[in-house]
Structure 1
Amino acid sequence: MNFGIDKIRLWSKRGEIRDIDFKRGHINILTGGSSRGKTSLLHIIDYCMLSSEHKLPHDVINDNVAWYGLQFYINDKTLTIARQSPTAQQVSNLFYFSPIGKIPESPNANATSEDIKVILQSEFGLDSSVVLYGGRGLKDGTQMSFRYFMLMNTISENTITNSDVYFDNQQKDRYRVALPQVLDLSLGIDSLENISARERRNDLQRQIDKLEKKKSLSTGKGLFESEARKIAATAAEYGLIEKIPKTVDIAFLKEIVASSPSPEASGQDAKRYADAKAKMFQINRKMRKLREFSDEHKQYKATLKNTLDSLKPMETLIGQSDQLLQTEIFDELINGLHADLKALKKATATNLPVDTQVANMLRELEKEKKENQELIDALPKKTKSFETIIEHAKFIGRIEAKLESYHEVVSDDPESFNGKISELQSAIQDIGVIDVVETRQNINRQIDDLAQSLLTEADFVMDNYATWHPAFSFKHNVLQLRKPHSSLVENVGSSSNHMFMHLILFLALHEAAAVNESRFVPNFLFIDQPSRPYYGEEKVKDESHLKSSDAARVSQAFVLLDNFVSRMKSKHHTDFQMIILEHVPTEVFAGLKNVHILPEFREDNALIPATWKSRNTTQ
C-alpha cells in the first residue's frame, strides 16, 4: 500500500504555525539532542490517526499546541487530518479533515472520528465483514481496524533493543490478540474472502452446537429435573417455599413465580409491601427450620425406640431377678439397667414437651404468616422490584429463564433436530475454506530467506552470528537465530544485536508483503534511534569510522536501510518512506542516496519553537 507522511503541522494557542516536512520515497532523518520533542512526532502521528488515548507530554508541548495536523498520502490520495490538543489525559473529539490534503491556516472541526475512520477503513480495504477472532480484551467478531496494521510500521524506543518483543503496543490485549491475524493478512497467508468464508462456517457450526445442546436436553429431562431440585432448594433457603416436595416439576416452579408478585407502589404502600414480603421470607425460613428439627427429632425417637425394643429381654430379666444367682455387683448392674430402660421409655413417649413446644411455635408462625399474607394481599401490586427484595427478583428471573429454556426444548420435536443439523452440516460442506497452515509455512520460509540476505549484508556487525540462520517464529512473533546444521536456537546477547534483529525482521516482513502484493501494509517505517545501543542519548565527540568502531556499525545499519529502499524501487517498483529519529552526527549518513536529512533539533530549533515557550511563560 502506497503510504507516507508529507507534513506534520502544529498550531500554537496564539495562532502560530510550526511545520515539519518529509520527503516521499526517502529515509527522512531527524537528528538532535535529547528533550527536543523528536519522539513526540510518533505520538503526533498516532494521535491524528484516531488514537483513543495519547502519549503527548503536557509540559512544553500540549501547553503550547492548540491543534496537531498530519498531511499524508495513501494509495492515490492525499489527505489531511487535524485534531485538537488533548486536555490532560482526555483525547479530543474535534477533528478537521480534508479529502484533498488541504492544510488550513486555522483549523476548525468539520468531521467526526467515525467519518474519518470509514474513509481510512476503505483505503485499507477493510469493511464490516472483516472481523477478528476473539481473545482476552477483544470480543469475538470485533471489526478489524486499520490501526492494527500500523503495528507493521513502527519500531519505537521501547522495543528496538528488546529481545522478547518486536512489535509495539503488545502490552495492550487487543493489539496482542490482533497481531497474528494482521500478519496473516499482511503477508498474503490469508485473504478477506477466506476469512469471510471461515466466519460463515463458524457461524453455522455455532448453530449446530446450539441445536445439539437442545437435542441433548430434549432427550435428557433428568438433567432439567436435577437443576429444578437445586432451584427448589434455593427457594426454600430464601423462604419462598416451606419445604421441598418429592417431585419438583414445571408446575411447581411456575407456582413459585406466580406466588411471588413484585410491587409498584409509592410512599408508605411500597415500604409496607417490601417489609411484609421480607417478613414473609423470614417466617417461611423459620417454619422450614422447625419442620426440619421436628423431622430429625422424630427420627431420633425412632432410633431410641429400636434400642428400647432390643432391651425388652433385659426387662424380663429384671422382673425375675430374685430367682437369679446374685454376686456382689448384681444389685448395681440391675439398678443401672432399670434406670436406662426408664430413661428410654420417657424419651420415646408419644408426646414430649419439646414436641408440644415445636407444634405451638408452628401454629403461631402459621397464624403470623396468614396475617402477613392478608396484609400483602391488601397492598397494590404491579411489576417492579425494590431494593429490599432485589435478590428475590433475581432469583425469580433465574426460574423464569430455566422455564423458558425448557419450554424451547420440549416444544420442538426431538426428531426435527436431526434434520436441521443435517441441513446445516450440508451448508458447511458447500463453503470452501482454505487451510492456511501450509501457506503459512511457505511464507515463513520466505521471511527466513529474506532475513538471511539482510543478515549477510550486516555480516560484521553481528559478530559470531553472521553465518547463523534467521528463523521467524509466528508463535512468539520474534526473530531468532539457528546454528547451522542444528536445531539449536540461540539467545542472542547485546542490545546492538537485538537492534539489528529488529531492523532485519521488519525489512524482511515488508519485502515479503511486497512480493506477495499485499494491499494492507503501508510502505512506511518509523524508527526511533537505531543507534541507541551505541551512542545512548547524545551526540558523540569521537567520529572515527574504523570498521570495528561503533560509528561503522551504525553506518552499516543505515546502509542496510538505504539498500532496502533502493531495492523496493528497482525490484518491486514501489516507493518506501522511512522517518528515523537519531542523535548521531550527520556524517554517518554520508554517501547514502536515499537519505533526506531534516534540520537538526539543536539550540533554538526544536519541535516547539523557543518563541512559543517564551510567550507562554510571559502570559
Structure 2
Amino acid sequence: MSFTIRAIVIYSHTGAQRIVPFRSHGLNIITGKSKTGKSAIIDIVDYCLSRGSFNVAEGAIRKKVAWFGLHIAKGSDEVFIARDNPGPGASTGSKVYFQRGNVDVYPTLETISKNTTESSLKEFVTRFTGIAENEHRPLTGTRRPLEANISHALWLCFQKQNTIASQDQLFHRMNEQFLPQDLKDTLPYFLGAVDESHFLLMGELDELQRRLKLLEATESKQLQTIEVTRSRVTRVLNEGKKVGLVGQDYQAVDDTVFRYLATIAEFPMDEAELISDFGETIQRLRGEQSTLQNRLNDLNQDVRAARSFLSDQTDFSREATEQRARLKSIELFKSEVSSPYQCPFCESELRTPIPKVDEVRQSLHEVSEQLEGVYRDSPHIQRHITELEAKILRASDDLRLVQRELQKSVMENEAAKARQDQMLARGKFLGRLSEFLESVSPQADDDGVGSQIAELRELIAGIKSRINNDDTESRLETILSFISEKMTEYSKNLDLEHSGSSLRLDLKKLTVVANTVDGPIPLNRMGSGENWVGYHVLSHLALHWWLRMKERPVPAFLIFDQPTQAYYPPDSTEGGLDQIEKDADRTAVQALFKLMATACTEIKADFQLIVLDHAHLKDEWFESAIVAEWRGNEALVPYDWPENTA
C-alpha cells in the first residue's frame, strides 16, 4: 500500500490559504481555462515530494505564493509537507516543514518554519512510499550500483502537457541526460520482477564473499608476509603520542612493541561529554552584555544632557543677574517724568525716546522671577545627575559581572570542545591501531582454514543459484505480458491507429509498440497527436493497474495534464464539447474520459487519477468527478492575493 494526495495547500504572503482537496480513490478532475495554474499542480507536488529544483513557470504563482503545502496519506497515516517558494528567478528553496499525524486543520503561515532538510525529506518520503532498501547492480562495471528512491517512482506518476502528447517520450523527464537508464534499472524493482528478498540475498552474498576473500588471503599467507617496517611502527607510535595514549619517552626496541600496542588498543574510551546547552549560555550572556552596554550608553547620554542643561542655566543665571543689576538703577529715576524725551536724571531734553519707568520695572520683575526659577531647578537637576551617576555605577558593576561570566563560559565551552576533540582523535587512532594490529599479527590458529573456504564457496554457489538473472528476466517478461494485455484491452475503447492490435511496453526503448502483421510499430512512427495522447493514457493506466494490484512501492496517484489539448481550439474559454468542431473529435474526448473513469473502477483502491484539463463534459459521472473548476475569477492562486514586495 502506498500513499495518495489528500490536498494541495498554498499560502499567500499575508497568510491566506488556498486549499485544493482530492478524493483518495477514483477520478479527480480539475477543469478550467488556460493560465489558471492547472499545469503548476505537477510541479508543486513534485517539489513538495523532495525534488531538488523548483520548476513552476515564472508569473503570478512565484510572486504571490509564500509556501506550498502537500497533504498525503497512507490509510490513517497522514503527513503534511510544506516548502518555501524561492520566488521569481530562483531554482530552489531552502526551507522544509514536516508534520506527521492526523491533519485536521492545516498549520498557519505563522507556525510553518524549517524543521527538516531536503535530504531528510527525500529519505522519509522514499520509505513512506514503501520503497525498501534495494540496489540495482549492472552486469558491466561501467556504471555504479543504483538504489531506487522516490524520485524514480514519481517518473511513473506524472504526465506533463508536453510529455502526454509526445511521440518520442513516454515517461516523465526522460528527455534529461542519464535518467532513461536509471528508469530502466529501477523498473524491474518497481514492477516486482525483483523483490526485497532479492536484495537480502545480495547482502548475504557480499558478506560471504568478503569472508572468503579474507580466508583465502590467510591461506596464502598474505597477512603473514606483510613486511612491517620500522618507519610504519614509528608512525603508529607517534600518532599515539599525539593523542596521549603512548608515553612520550617510549621507544620501539624489539618485538615487544606489538604486545605494548595491543595493550594500548584495549584502552577504555570514556563516554563523550555532553555540552548541555550547546552555546546557549554564551548566547544568553552576550545578549545580557549587549543590553547592559546599551543601558550604559543611554545613561551616559542622559548625564551629558543633564549637565549641558545645568551649564546652560548657569550661563543664563549669570546674564540675568547682570541685567537685573542694570535694571536696579531704576531706583535712581525721578518718579515723575512728563515725556519720554526728558532725561529721568537731569530732566534735559533727549533726541531718542527712552522706555517708560513702568516698562523698566516690569522687565526687572520678569528677570527676577526667571532667576528664582533657575535657583529652584538647579538642586533638582544636580540630584537627577547624582541619581544617574549611581545607576551608571550599578550598570557598570553588572556589566563587569556578566563579562566575567561570559569569559568563564567561553573558556569552559572551549575546554569541553577540546576534550571532545581529543576523545574523537583517540577513537580514530584506536580504530586505525586495531586495523594495523590485525594486518600484522600472525593468525593464532590456521587449522581448518581449507574446510572453511570450501564451506563458504558452497554457500556462495547456493545463493548465486537463487539470484538468477535469467529468472529475473523471465519474471519481468511475464509482468510485461500482463500489462500489455491490459493495454490492448484499453485500446479497444479508443479510436486510435492500430487500436485492437497487440500492444506492448518496450522497456529497452521506453516506448509503446504495436505488433501488427506488417511488423512492430513504435510510438514515434504512429501519426497524429490524438494517437500519442491515447497511447500515453492507456499505457500508464495499465501500468498503475499492475502496480496497485501487486501493491508495489510507487505512489498510488497518476496525474495527466491536458490530455485533450489536441482537440480544443487555443482560444476557447469554456470546456464543453460544443466548442470542438469535428464530431469525431467530440467522440474521442468523450471516449478518453470514459476510459479514465472505467479504469479507475477497475484499479484496486486506493488509486487516484488526477486530470488537469480544459474539458467540462455535461455527463453526470464527469461532473461528479470535478474537484475544482477555474473559470471567470477562479484560479489556483486568487487574483486578489498581493505580490511579495520584500
In 2, the alpha carbon distance for the partners of 1:445 and 1:583 equals 34
Q: Which of 466, 483, 490 is equivalent to 2:516?
A: 483
Question: Is 1:582 the equivalent of 2:613?
Answer: yes
Whether the aligned pair in 1 keeps the contact of 2:152 and 2:183 (CA below 8 Å) is: yes
Distance apart, 1:78 and its partner CA: 2.0
In 2, the alpha carbon distance for the partners of 1:536 and 1:210 equals 71
Letter in 2 for 1:512: W
Matches within 5 A, 1:160-559: 160-173=164-177, 175-201=179-205, 422=454, 424-431=456-463, 432-434=466-468, 435-458=471-494, 460=495, 462-463=496-497, 465-484=498-517, 486=519, 491-515=525-549, 517-535=550-568, 537-539=570-572, 543=578, 548-559=583-594
Distance apart, 1:548 and its partner CA: 4.3
Whether the aligned pair in 1 keeps the contact of 2:4 and 2:606 (CA below 8 Å) is: no
Distance apart, 1:193 and its partner CA: 0.9
Whether the aligned pair in 2 keeps the contact of 1:2 and 1:76 (CA below 8 Å) is: no
Aligned residue number for residue 94 of structure 1 = 96
- CA gap 1:582/1:470 in 2 versus in 1, 3 angstroms: same
In 2, the alpha carbon distance for the partners of 1:598 and 1:12 equals 21
Distance apart, 1:205 and its partner CA: 5.7
Whether the aligned pair in 2 keeps the contact of 1:75 and 1:123 (CA below 8 Å) is: no
Whether the aligned pair in 2 keeps the contact of 1:94 and 1:112 (CA below 8 Å) is: yes
Task: Show CA shifts across 1:574-602 (max 9, x none).
Answer: 23212211123x12x62436852244323
User: When the two structures are superposed, what TM-score results if normalisation uses the length of structure 1?
Assistant: 0.60
Distance apart, 1:48 and its partner CA: 1.1
Letter in 1 for 2:594: V
- CA gap 1:500/1:108 in 2 versus in 1, 3 angstroms: same
- CA gap 1:140/1:468 in 2 versus in 1, 3 angstroms: same
Count of aligned pairs between the two proteins: 432
User: When the two structures are superposed, what TM-score results if normalisation uses the length of structure 2?
Assistant: 0.58
Matches within 5 A, 1:150-169: 150-169=154-173
Aligned residue number for residue 368 of structure 1 = none
Aligned residue number for residue 603 of structure 1 = 632
RMSD of aligned alpha carbons: 4.3
- CA gap 1:594/1:3 in 2 versus in 1, 3 angstroms: farther
Whether the aligned pair in 2 keeps the contact of 1:5 and 1:70 (CA below 8 Å) is: yes
- CA gap 1:547/1:63 in 2 versus in 1, 3 angstroms: closer
Letter in 2 for 1:503: V
Runs of 4+ residues deviating >6 angstroms:
206-216, 416-421, 544-547
- CA gap 1:467/1:60 in 2 versus in 1, 3 angstroms: closer
Aligned residue number for residue 562 of structure 1 = 597
Distance apart, 1:520 and its partner CA: 1.0
Deviates more, 1:57-66 or 1:145-154: 57-66
Whether the aligned pair in 2 keeps the contact of 1:32 and 1:602 (CA below 8 Å) is: yes
In 2, the alpha carbon distance for the partners of 1:166 and 1:123 equals 26
- CA gap 1:15/1:206 in 2 versus in 1, 3 angstroms: same
Distance apart, 1:69 and its partner CA: 0.8
Question: Is 1:85 the equivalent of 2:89?
Answer: no
Whether the aligned pair in 1 keeps the contact of 2:97 and 2:114 (CA below 8 Å) is: yes
Distance apart, 1:510 and its partner CA: 1.1
Distance apart, 1:558 and its partner CA: 0.4
Distance apart, 1:492 and its partner CA: 1.2
* Bigger Rg over Cα: 2
In 1, the alpha carbon distance for the partners of 2:213 and 2:537 equals 46
Letter in 1 for 2:493: E
In 2, the alpha carbon distance for the partners of 1:455 and 1:534 equals 19
Helix, strand or coil for the counterpart of 1:190?
coil
Deviates more, 1:24-33 or 1:207-216: 207-216
In 2, the alpha carbon distance for the partners of 1:533 and 1:211 equals 67
In 2, the alpha carbon distance for the partners of 1:452 and 1:555 equals 19
Aligned residue number for residue 125 of structure 1 = 130
Task: Show CA shifts across 1:140-164 (max 9, x none).
Answer: 3454322321222111123112222
Deviates more, 1:488-497 or 1:543-552: 543-552
In 1, the alpha carbon distance for the partners of 2:17 and 2:116 equals 23
In 2, the alpha carbon distance for the partners of 1:603 and 1:429 equals 69
Aligned residue number for residue 334 of structure 2 = none
Distance apart, 1:117 and its partner CA: 4.1
- CA gap 1:540/1:57 in 2 versus in 1, 3 angstroms: closer
Whether the aligned pair in 2 keeps the contact of 1:131 and 1:144 (CA below 8 Å) is: yes
Task: Show CA shifts across 1:240-279 (max 9, x none).
Answer: xxxxxxxxxx9xxx9xxxxxxxxxxxxxxxxxxxxxxxxx
Task: Show CA shifts across 1:321-360 (max 9, x none).
Answer: xxxxxxxxxxxxxxxxxxxxxxxxxxxxxxxxxxxxxxxx
In 2, the alpha carbon distance for the partners of 1:551 and 1:535 equals 9
- CA gap 1:467/1:579 in 2 versus in 1, 3 angstroms: closer
Letter in 1 for 2:97: F
In 2, the alpha carbon distance for the partners of 1:532 and 1:21 equals 24
Aligned residue number for residue 236 of structure 1 = none
- CA gap 1:430/1:11 in 2 versus in 1, 3 angstroms: same
In 1, the alpha carbon distance for the partners of 2:171 and 2:27 equals 21
Q: Which runs of 5 or more residues in structure 1 are unaligned?
A: 219-249, 255-407
In 2, the alpha carbon distance for the partners of 1:135 and 1:29 equals 44
Whether the aligned pair in 2 keeps the contact of 1:125 and 1:520 (CA below 8 Å) is: yes
- CA gap 1:609/1:197 in 2 versus in 1, 3 angstroms: same
Helix, strand or coil for the counterpart of 2:45?
helix
Distance apart, 1:528 and its partner CA: 0.5
Task: Show CA shifts across 1:492-532 (max 9, x none).
Answer: 111210111111111111112233x2231332111110012
Letter in 2 for 1:597: I
In 1, the alpha carbon distance for the partners of 2:138 and 2:529 equals 34
Aligned residue number for residue 111 of structure 1 = 115
In 2, the alpha carbon distance for the partners of 1:139 and 1:53 equals 25
In 2, the alpha carbon distance for the partners of 1:420 and 1:485 equals 60
Helix, strand or coil for the counterpart of 1:103?
coil
* Identity in percent: 24
Whether the aligned pair in 2 keeps the contact of 1:187 and 1:518 (CA below 8 Å) is: no
Q: Which runs of 5 or more residues in structure 2 are unaligned?
A: 232-438
- CA gap 1:446/1:91 in 2 versus in 1, 3 angstroms: same
Whether the aligned pair in 1 keeps the contact of 2:3 and 2:129 (CA below 8 Å) is: no
Distance apart, 1:453 and its partner CA: 0.5
Aligned residue number for residue 29 of structure 1 = 29
Helix, strand or coil for the counterpart of 1:534?
coil
- CA gap 1:145/1:164 in 2 versus in 1, 3 angstroms: same
Whether the aligned pair in 1 keeps the contact of 2:6 and 2:72 (CA below 8 Å) is: yes
In 2, the alpha carbon distance for the partners of 1:498 and 1:488 equals 13
Letter in 2 for 1:78: E
Distance apart, 1:122 and its partner CA: 3.2
Distance apart, 1:546 and its partner CA: 8.8
Helix, strand or coil for the counterpart of 1:177?
helix
